[in-house]
Structure formats: structure tokens, C-alpha cells
Amino acid sequence: MTLLFAPLALLPNGWAENVRIDVGADGAIAAVAPGAPCPADALRLAGPVVPGVADLHSHAFQRAMAGLAERTGAVGGMDSFWNWRETMYGFLARLTPEDVGAIAEMLFVELLEGGYTGIAEFHYLHHAPDGRPYPARGEMAARILGAAADAGLGITLLPVLYAHGGFGGEPPTPGQARFLNDVDGLFEIATAARAACAPGQRVGLALHSLRAVTPKELSTAVAALDAVDASAPIHIHVAEQTAEVDACLAWSGRRPVAWLLDNAPVDRRWCLIHATHLDADEVAGIAASGAVAGLCPTTEANLGDGLFPAEAFLAAGGAFGVGSDSHVTLSPFDELRVLEYGQRLTTRRRGVLGAPGSGCGADLYRRAAAGGAQALGVAGGAIAAGMRCDLVVLDDDDSKLIGRSGDALLDAAVFATPNRAVRDVFVGGNRVVTEGRHPRADAARAAYRAALKRLSEA
């Protein structure tokens, strides 16, 4: 049993002082006692303590192209998600498993330093550049799980079923060759990934999108997952771009989210990634299903996706979490700020998404912690008995936190920068970041630099 002691901590019913946290050998919180004396053998946490947030949507390799696809097209002003996707396909064509492992470890180290305690890796880069499976079919998956274990970041790996290039089973493009599997092939990867899991790591399922799987493949894959783990999470990209909505309407007569809600067993296990373009029925439908809306505000802004109808969704009681997705930013605070700012810029109001009477940043943070844990399929997202002991100790030497207390600490962490709010990070009760630094940062940077050098010469 490990004992932690927090002078100030955010518990499910609010901020509490002098909180004793007992952590079991399994990394879960065994007991929480506010107003307690500090045991002699406890580790005294050096700042206000908040639950960690899981990053619910990641394509780890994309970190290495952050900022690379920002060159404005020669025709000017016509850049879009779809050009960006071509750039991304070109970049990933050269990546080896060793490259992906190096990129993932650098990323995971920086996500921990940014305050994330877990990640859902939406893993679709399965095969060799020519599209053939690696001799060990789970090679790439194992590299990502290994990088997470080395960095100490919690992970739920979601092997992605990607079978087609468009609605109605259209053939894939050459740029998609590394992603492709049928359901059996994907479950070979998933089985290998389960075998490669370190303690606390989990494997679920992702369906790339309704563009990439047929209705039959969707139901077959969900049934195959149920046979192995009937509570494992299921994620899907949906309604990110208006062109996708239009194509789905042309194919099925239904909008993508409406189609999914009618034709798949969407419930609390599910996480709908992006879900940007929704009508009012779809907003209500996702909220009622209990599924998590997997919002990726900085990537959605970077790619020009548009704005998720967050105010209506939260008013309907919807659950949400945040993902760093393409990894242009690596902090839950950044994601929540951009989420709220998008709403403010279009409504011309402030405090749009915060619950009345609470700190807007603090309220968004609490909900994102809960939604992130749900999306990863782990008990977590709050400081309470039974939850994984994923904690962030805020740095009260950060100028923007000086003089702040209670919700205003998280309001400042979310709405003010620079991002220096993270002092220490604990995952499963283990301290993985100390004084803002991960001990593997320098080694990870050296390996990352070598990988990018190989890529530039490839």
C-alpha cells in the first residue's frame, strides 16, 4: 500500500483539504480521507491535486508532422482537410515500426508532461509500406504499447478496422494500403496486442468510419469483440467533415450519426470521435445513448472541421472528453480552452459551457476527466476509492496559479498560458513526472531526432 497526502485536492463533491489517499498494489485508489492527519510514511504532494485526464483520441505517428502541413496552397485559400490527408498519407508511407515507436515515446513523454495520464490510441497504421502485414502481425501495435509502458502512460489500444475507401464498400486508395484489414485480420492484430499488454493496458476496437467499414463488417467486428471482452470500448470517427455527411446521405439517405444510432448498439462503451456536424435529433440521440462525444478541439480547428454543437449537447446531458488527435497540442488545458473559445467566438458570450455557479474551466476539466476514463474503459477520472490513481499535482509556483484557490486554479490552468501548471504526474499511483519533467525526456528526444533524420533521408 502506498500512501499519498494532498494539502488540497479536487474530490467528486468539491475541493477538500488534508486528503489522505491510500493506493493499492493494483494502482487503484483504495481509500480517500479528507481532513486527515498526514501519516509519517506518506508522500506529501507538493501542490493542489486534481484527477488526471485521459487523452481519448490519438494517432501517435502524426505528432511527427505537427506543423508540416501548414504551407498555403499555391492557389491560395483552398486548403482543406482533404489536402491535409494527402500530406499525411505521404508522410506515413515511409514510417518503420522503429520510427513509430520512437515518435510514440517522445509523444507519450510530452503528453505526461502536459498533464494527460492515459491515452486511447486509434491505431490504423498496421502494415508495411507495401501493404503487406508484418511477419508479426501485431508488430506496430506492440511498438505503441511498449512506448506507453516505457513512458508510464496509461493506454487503451484500439486496433482500427479499415476496409474500404468510401461509403458502400468503395475500394481503398493506394495511400490507404497500410491500414487495410478484414475483420479476421484485424482480430489477429487485436489478439497479438492483448498478449503484448503490460498490466493496466487494455485493448478495444475502433471502426475507422462509416466510409471505411460496411454495415456487415461493423456488426461482425462488434460481435467478435463481444466474444472476447463484452465491456471493451468501441470508437469510431464520424461526421468530421460536411463532405462526409453529404456522402453518407447519398449512400443511405441518413446522416452519419443518425445512421449509426439506428444501426449500431451505441451505448456507454462507445466513443463518437469528432461528431462535428449534427442536427438536433443527433445531438439528443448521442446524449441519450450514454456514449462519449470524443472532441478534439485543436485538431478540429487546425483542420477546419467546424464547431461541435457543444452547448446543446451539454444541455442535453451528454458526456464528453478530449483528444489531442493529430497532436498539434499536447495538453488537456489547451483542448478545453479551444473548445470553449470556439463557442464564445460564435455566440459572443462567455462561460458558454460551464455549469452555472462553477468555474468554467474547472467544470469542463472535471467532465473531461470523467469522459476520458469512460472512453478508455477504465475506472478513473476522479479521486475516489476504486478509481485508478491517476493524479496531477498543480504547480503553485506557476505565475498564473499564484493567489488562486479552488475552481479558480483550474480556470487559470485552462484559460491562461503559458502551460506551466503541471508539477508532478502520477499514473496508477506511480510518479512519472517530477517538477514538470519526465526522466526519459532526453533519451526519448535523442531517439526521436534519430528517427526524423532517418525519415528525411529515406
Active site members: 274, 325
| Torsion on CA atoms 390, 234, 147, 437, rounded to nearest 10 | -30
Q: Name which position in 412, 425, 427, 433 contacts a copy of itself (CB under 8 A).
A: 412
119-158 positions binding a copy of itself, by CB under 8 A? none
Total chain residues near a copy of itself (CB under 8 A): 85
Q: Is 417 exposed, middle or buried (0-12, 13-18, 19+ CB in 10 A)?
A: middle
Q: At what angle do helices 256-263 and 280-289 cross, to 10 degrees?
A: 40
**Does the protein bind a copy of itself through residue 361 (CB under 8 A)?**
yes
| Rounded Cα distance, 439 and 246, in Å | 48
**Contact flag: residue 346 with a copy of itself (CB under 8 A):** yes
Q: Using the rule CB under 8 A, which residue among 330, 369, 383, 432 binds a copy of itself? A: 330
The answer to whether 391 and 50 are in contact (CB under 8 A) is yes
* Interface positions, 201-260, toward a copy of itself (CB under 8 A): 242
- By CB under 8 A, what part of segment 369-398 binds a copy of itself? 397
Backbone angles phi and psi of 223, in degrees to 5: -65, -40
Interaction between residue 363 and a copy of itself (CB under 8 A): yes
Query: Does residue 78 belong to the site contacting a copy of itself (CB under 8 A)?
Result: yes
Q: How far apart are CA 10 and CA 31, in angstroms?
A: 15
In the complex, least distance from residue 73 CB atom to a copy of itself, rounded to whole angstroms: 6
In the complex with a copy of itself, the residue whose CB is nearer, 256 or 342, is 342
Work out which of 18, 80, 219, 220 binds a copy of itself, going by CB under 8 A: 80
Residue 218: CB atoms within 10 A of its CB come to 21
Binding map of a copy of itself across residues 161-200, x = CB under 8 A, - = no contact? ----------------------------------------
CB distance 373 to 380 below 8 Å: yes
Q: Which cell goes with 5?
A: 497526502
Closest distance between a copy of itself and the C-beta of residue 256, in Å?
17
Q: How far apart are CA 327 and CA 314, in angstroms?
A: 25
**281 near 258, Cβ under 8 Å?**
yes
Binding residue (CB under 8 A) for a copy of itself from 4, 6, 11, 106 = 106
Nearer to a copy of itself, 190 or 451 (CB): 451
Nearer to a copy of itself, 48 or 233 (CB): 48
Residue from 112, 161, 328, 394 touching a copy of itself (CB under 8 A): that is 328
Residues 291-320 that bind a copy of itself (CB under 8 A): 298, 300-307, 311
- Given a contact cutoff of 8 angstroms between Cβ atoms, the answer to whether 332 and 114 are in contact is yes
